[in-house]
Structure 1
Amino acid sequence: MDPIVLAAGTALVSAMAVDSWQQVKTATTALWQRLRPEQADEITAELETLRAGVLDAREQQDHDTEEALTWVWRLRLQQLLVNEPSAVGELRRLLEEHLAPALPPDERRGVQSIVMKAEARDHGRVYMAGRDQHITDS
């Protein structure tokens, strides 16, 4: 699954529980309106239904249900990109400009997306890490 999809799905579901939810919902619906206008009303309704589920799951401290709802939206977003591969930039923009900023700082760290590319030639080596890295080669 695309790393942007993972991050955006997580951020979207987490943002369902924040005060600025209306702005997040508007931005998310606008994405569908641009890419799949025939699905925009359905998406808006689904967002509201899932928001109620997220709020209930958080109230009950039901992490499994919240994780399941996160996967529902990850799959939705993945399907959007399958149908509209060129939309990855728009999804990244939604994540960076609307979803992540809506989250409390401690939740923002969980939705960062890291994209790394490397190429080694001849006898070259590549060491990549999203965080700490300890190399013990000699």
Structure 2
Amino acid sequence: MDPETAALVGTAGTTLVSLLTTEAWQRTRDGFAAVWRRAQPERAQAITAELDITRSDLFTAQASGDSDTRDELGAEWQGRIRRLITAHPEEAEALRALINELQSLAPAASPVTQHATAFGNARVYQAGRDQNFNQR
């Protein structure tokens, strides 16, 4: 798989899972089901049911504070999408258009808040991204 298609598949899986628990979930489900319906009509109904199950699993994980499930489900859907696009490369452009549409519906990322407390001679180093240290 070429790097551009691999990136599309990765973005598609992440976007799909991130939107299933938002107000855009219905459009997300319908959009992905439509891609499957064109490529593999016999699987479209099963994919819709699997998307509903994924949504339910995500809500359960959120309620219990399980942060790993979202990543696992994203990887699972990336695999499904990769197999679909490998078998039906003609659907890559439709998938790209769907992802572009859905990303505009994604909620804005919530800000990151960091808290730290140091006692005695301790030091706290916090960064939102890269941190470089030059010790002397």
CA distance in 2, matches of 1:3, 1:31: 18
Structure 1 segments (4+ residues) deviating >6 Å? none
Corresponding residue of 1:8: 12
1:29 to partner: Cα distance: 0.8
Q: Does 1:102 align with 2:113?
A: no
After superposition, the Cα gap between the structure-2 partners of 1:61 and 1:102, relative to the gap in structure 1 and judged at 3 Å, is: farther
CA distance in 2, matches of 1:23, 1:91: 13
Partner of 1:19: helix, strand, or coil? coil
| 1:1-40 aligned within 5 A | 2-40=6-44
CA-atom RMSD in angstroms: 1.4
**Identity across the alignment (%):** 35
1:72 to partner: Cα distance: 0.6
Corresponding residue of 1:69: 73
TM-score (norm 2): 0.73
CA distance in 1, matches of 2:32, 2:18: 13
CA distance in 1, matches of 2:96, 2:30: 16
Q: Please tell me whether the aligned partners of residues 18 and 102 of structure 1 are also in contact (alpha carbons under 8 angstroms).
A: no
Q: Which runs of 5+ in 2 are unaligned?
A: 111-136
CA distance in 1, matches of 2:19, 2:62: 12
Q: Please tell me whether the aligned partners of residues 16 and 55 of structure 1 are also in contact (alpha carbons under 8 angstroms).
A: no
Aligned pair count reads: 106
Q: Please tell me whether the aligned partners of residues 15 and 103 of structure 1 are also in contact (alpha carbons under 8 angstroms).
A: yes
Corresponding residue of 1:58: 62
CA distance in 2, matches of 1:26, 1:36: 15
Letter in 2 for 1:103: A
Corresponding residue of 2:87: 83
Q: Please tell me whether the aligned partners of residues 15 and 103 of structure 2 are also in contact (alpha carbons under 8 angstroms).
A: yes
1:91 to partner: Cα distance: 1.1
1:65 to partner: Cα distance: 1.2
